Amino acid sequence: MRLIVKILLVLVIVFIAIQFIPTAKNTSLKESETDISNAVIVPKKVQTILKNACFDCHSNNTYYPWYSKIQPVRWMMDTHIKEGKAEINFSEFGNYSTRSQISKLKGLANSIKDNIMPLSSYRLMHKSANLSDVEKNLIITWALHTSDSLSVKK
Amino acid sequence: MKKIILGLALAAITLAACNNKSTESKANKAVMYTNSDEKNLSPINELVNQYLQIKNGLANDNGTDAATAGKAFVESIAKVNTASFTTDQKKKWDDISADAKEMAEHIGANADKLEHQREHFEMLSQDIYDLVKTFGAGQVLYKDADTMYNKGKGAFWLSEIKEIKNPYMGKAMFDSGSIKEEIK
């Protein structure tokens, strides 16, 4: 019994301690010239869906909810953001080569179609990221159409 | 004294003869190597072979084989000797290889998701086709197309054999598709 109390005490101390480890925020105040909206045509409806369901992990601007202040939630978020930006960063879409832009748009359409994205853990916490079939189709059609028109340009 | 001079002269002649022989054979060998280099080895030889392994893995519905070849593909990209590339070739190489690497990474990391591997294989096929057109394949390849994949949008792949073995459909419809181009 005393052992369990000791273990719990240690856990509580560790939990409190990790709250004080400083973290950096993924936010950028200035508007990005390389943003996807400057590189290709992004209709308003598409832009809204991207903002609600993708930008938190796939852009240079994350919206941080209240629970993001609690560790280890924040660490989990940071990992997702880091991996998400490596895969596709909508704020820096203009920096990709045309070939890469085509691939990334196709990959975006595929991951929506296969329900890989948005991540289920993200959908659990963000109602607006639960896309309806209409919204999914809109994003898929836009992504494939845009990638096709880039292919013609190449 | 005479004997010594004669002996030295003989030794000198044989030595010279030996030397001649060895340099001759060296020269022969060097010629042979450069010949085979030019004939058989494309700078992207390894990449083409690993791409074909990915293709065969997918055609057999074997995601693990495809993933293994995908990982090997990623490693081979770094080993390609770009020193002899022209400026134009280097530019193309940088552009295409960066994209191909990402596609191969996805194929390597998703051994349990055949459909996801196939989606990236479609894009990798475009990259490999462009690489082969730029650098040569060092072997005869066939560009095969499946017009039904992706809701009728169609997709192509490269193959080392004339027989159709569809990597998008796998065993279920292995023979759907047709040869569109022979690349020599």
DSSP secondary structure of A50-101? HHHHTHHHHSS-----GGGGSTTHHHHHHHHHHHHHHH--GGGGGGS-HHHH
Check A97 against B99: CB less than 8 A apart. Answer: yes
pLDDT at A125 over 80: yes
Q: Is B96 part of the contact surface with chain A (CB cutoff 8 Å)?
A: yes
Nearest to B143 by CA among B128, B106, B69: B128
Determine if residue A115 is left, alpha or beta; phi over 0 gives left, psi from -120 to 50 gives alpha, anything else beta.
left
**Token pair listed for A117:** 């994205």
Q: What is the pLDDT of residues A66-106, one digit of tens each?
A: 888 888 888 889 999 999 999 999 999 999 999 999 999 99
pLDDT given for residue A11 in this prediction: 93
pLDDT given for residue A83 in this prediction: 92
Tell me which residue in B95, B102, B119 faces A110 most closely, judged by beta carbons.
Answer: B119
Q: How far is B139 from chain A (nearest CA, A)?
A: 26
Give CA–CA dist A49/A57, Å, rounded. 14
Check B99 against A114: CB less than 8 A apart. Answer: no
pLDDT given for residue B3 in this prediction: 56
- Residues in chain B, pLDDT under 70: 1-40
Q: Is B124 part of the contact surface with chain A (CB cutoff 8 Å)?
A: no
Give CA–CA dist B111/B119, Å, rounded. 13
**CA distances from residue B162 to B95, B159, B165, B179 in whole angstroms, order as listed:** 30, 8, 9, 8
Tell me which residue in A97, A107, A110 faces B95 most closely, judged by beta carbons.
Answer: A97
Neighbouring C-alpha atoms within 13 Å toward the C-beta of A29? 0
Check A110 against B98: CB less than 8 A apart. Answer: no
- The pLDDT of A143-149, averaged and rounded, is 91
Contacts with A100 from chain B: Cβ below 8 Å? 95, 98-99, 102
Label residue A121 by pLDDT band (50, 70, 90): confident
Q: Is B119 part of the contact surface with chain A (CB cutoff 8 Å)?
A: yes
Check A103 against B115: CB less than 8 A apart. Answer: no
Nearest to A59 by CA among A76, A40, A34, A41: A34
Check B99 against A107: CB less than 8 A apart. Answer: no
Q: Is A83 part of the contact surface with chain B (CB cutoff 8 Å)?
A: no
Length of chain A: 154
Give CA–CA dist A48/A100, Å, rounded. 23
Q: Is B65 part of the contact surface with chain A (CB cutoff 8 Å)?
A: no
**Token pair listed for A136:** 């999914």
Contacts with B102 from chain A: Cβ below 8 Å? 100, 103
**Strongest mean pLDDT among A2-11, A18-27, B5-14:** A2-11
Q: What is the pLDDT of residues B51-99, one digit of tens each?
A: 999 999 999 999 999 999 999 999 999 888 888 888 888 999 999 999 9
pLDDT at A9 over 90: yes
Q: Where are the domains of chain B?
A: 1-40, 45-183
pLDDT given for residue B22 in this prediction: 46
In this predicted structure, which of A36-45, A133-142, B21-30, B131-140 has the lowest mean pLDDT?
B21-30
The dihedrals phi and psi of B113, each to the nearest 5 degrees, come to: -125, 80
pLDDT given for residue A148 in this prediction: 87
Determine if residue A64 is left, alpha or beta; phi over 0 gives left, psi from -120 to 50 gives alpha, anything else beta.
beta
Percent of chain A whose pLDDT exceeds 90 = 51
